[in-house]
Structure 1
């Protein structure tokens, strides 16, 4: 069980303090201890802070909470995760923070609800390769990959071209801006789609989600173009948690994670985040509980660096959670992308793996059909898709799957602070 993080408490003994970079909504994310008992959590909110109108994920089919219906509630309670998002006045907030400070009450933490964004970028500069006398010679031996008529450079660099696996029997959830459900490359695929953005359908009006799903789960053979997708036989779960403007909040993202876990997805891919340094107790707790349930959550490290200008950036939330895999981006020469964030000095803020994230060709909404994007957002679905291949091959999930991915990654002549264990590699 997650321990109480005293270092995250405010000076008044209340909940975690909002990072100075954080964009918040005014609502609060309440995390319950595992021993609190899920049936008592709504009653606990009512007795502690007078929160009477609670919408529970378990009351919805497949735990797919209708956030438009739930908007009339004072609290959204995600039973599987043991987390609630609460609208609280100052007195209610004080009561909840007092509960979090008490070892005798089943409340682990209270923290502000964050706003998150899709993590792609227009930056194509990959001059961020860090050279030193120790690794400068080694970098000259690394090949430069290029898209070919058969495969994208990313599929070549991750050795997907020789893999015999396609993710058969594996469920991959991509929580993003949705998906173009009319895209012809995905006709006949097993796709389950759900929106967690109030008033919006799962259809992608932005393009980011369609691109990420294309990389993670695109077809083995696209019509008239190169192969761009990894887990071409996986079952696709589309969770729209970001609006068509590429913006979303903790409530929607947590609803998407709850839904994915309830539907027994083995991998959750999240190319989104907030540029904050502090670790969210909520996401770390969710990450731990997901791993315990055999679910690996993979998240984009962030695009807040400018390596060419000497600014390494930092891994933001939720990727900076120790139990969520943080993914950096490299370019076709396997040099670090200029925008790719470095490890955050907080515990858990380390980069875990790297993936192809510059000039990544994939699906985009019709009628355009295909396009290239840059970002740690593009690296993340490479890792998620390859995780599905390893899951199919070995049957490993959760923590064991995490270990497999890092053990079999390609070591790069770059600092672990920037690329973790190295470049993700597909199973044979």
Structure 2
């Protein structure tokens, strides 16, 4: 039996669940197993197959709790994680970051490919006109229309042109190109496996920087499925910026993907450069320091999605790190 391959969260779920209860899982195979081979593997009757990933040899599945241990006994399977729920985690912040000086020295992000992996985007918002290069829905909605507003807010913090506010509220890289993956539903929640699929799509589209203003509860040690895939993408040269989260001020409250070893994890500060009370803190479950840096993340004005006022000032959300995301993109020369 393959119980020893279960992550702690999966082990707990299987132990307490009825045998017939369906549990979403992510299965990691040994290195060298081809995607086609993974896709062709037979799964237990009644099971449902999901995404097959290319940056780590893994597949998302749903199957009955009573079938998981025998399925995991396959010698080609190294680890089985539970597919976990994830959730969403400027007029002042842009000057605080001295963005105008950066614009003068290095330009306004023209040609930089930035991926927003979130709740979608308002594709008709004037702040993004002509710069949304590709979109993909992984939430099951059928489009990337942002019924929540978080993704649109994040996208404008990164790359809003300010057109809807006559230039008053401008993103940090207002000429960057946007690639948008809708991985969260309109209630702001989703599943880890869909976030992973969105990251892979963005990487395949050539994104140089990927923004993850989302996360699962902490603590974490960076060995979960989402963090593993993020680290693999960074190894390819992609910059991934992840939110620390909104579970502070207690210690060890950073969760995936903020606990990944290779991502840049960002906490929130207020306009006076004090760490925000809601910003998640480290250390990680395995003792590493996180977050890596803090950026403005309180009372940020940015774009709203269709059906709402064009600008909003939400609080207690992990919307601070898009600024670092674009700062990182300065290392790229399109």
User: Structure 2 length normalisation: TM-score?
Assistant: 0.86
Structural mapping, 1:380-391, within 5 Å: 380-391=321-332
1:278-316 C-alpha deviation (Å, 9 max, x unpaired)? 3343123212210122212211111111x4xxx346101
**Offset, 1:359:** 0.8
Tell me the equivalent position of 1:374: 315
**Offset, 1:222:** 5.3
> SS of 1:385's equivalent?
helix
Structural mapping, 1:92-171, within 5 Å: 92-99=67-74, 105-119=75-89, 152-164=91-103, 165-171=107-113
Tell me the equivalent position of 2:242: 299
CA distance in 2, matches of 1:157, 1:21: 45
Q: Which of 330, 334, 341 is the aligned partner of 2:273?
A: 334
Tell me the equivalent position of 1:18: 9
**Offset, 1:220:** 6.0
Do structure 1's residue 206 and structure 2's residue 148 form an aligned pair?
yes
Contact 1:178 1:238 in 2 (8 A): yes
CA distance in 2, matches of 1:231, 1:21: 44
Tell me the equivalent position of 2:215: 273
**Offset, 1:317:** 1.4
Deviates more, 1:336-345 or 1:367-376: 367-376
1:228-277 C-alpha deviation (Å, 9 max, x unpaired)? 30121211011111111101102211110111111111111111111131
Deviates more, 1:222-231 or 1:253-262: 222-231
Tell me the equivalent position of 1:132: none
Q: Which of 227, 233, 236 is the aligned partner of 2:169?
A: 227
Give the alignment's Cα RMSD to 1 decimal. 2.7
CA distance in 2, matches of 1:358, 1:184: 24
**Offset, 1:224:** 2.5
Do structure 1's residue 356 and structure 2's residue 296 form an aligned pair?
yes
Do structure 1's residue 32 and structure 2's residue 29 form an aligned pair?
yes
Do structure 1's residue 256 and structure 2's residue 222 form an aligned pair?
no
**Offset, 1:35:** 2.3
Contact 2:135 2:181 in 1 (8 A): yes
Q: CA distance change for structure 1 residues 38 and 74 in 2, over 3 Å: closer, same or farther?
A: closer
Contact 2:141 2:185 in 1 (8 A): no
Contact 1:166 1:389 in 2 (8 A): no
Q: CA distance change for structure 1 residues 318 and 193 in 2, over 3 Å: closer, same or farther?
A: same
CA distance in 2, matches of 1:284, 1:186: 30
Tell me the equivalent position of 1:136: none
Q: CA distance change for structure 1 residues 86 and 236 in 2, over 3 Å: closer, same or farther?
A: same
> SS of 1:328's equivalent?
strand
Q: CA distance change for structure 1 residues 299 and 376 in 2, over 3 Å: closer, same or farther?
A: farther
Contact 1:278 1:346 in 2 (8 A): yes
Contact 2:252 2:284 in 1 (8 A): no
CA distance in 2, matches of 1:186, 1:75: 32
CA distance in 1, matches of 2:228, 2:78: 9
CA distance in 1, matches of 2:180, 2:102: 25
CA distance in 2, matches of 1:204, 1:260: 18
CA distance in 1, matches of 2:108, 2:96: 17
Q: Which of 24, 42, 52 is the aligned partner of 1:77?
A: 52
> SS of 1:238's equivalent?
strand
Which segments of 5 or more consecutive residues in structure 1 lack a partner in the other structure?
1-9, 54-72, 100-104, 120-150, 396-428
**Offset, 1:345:** 3.5
Q: CA distance change for structure 1 residues 349 and 39 in 2, over 3 Å: closer, same or farther?
A: farther
User: Structure 1 length normalisation: TM-score?
Assistant: 0.68
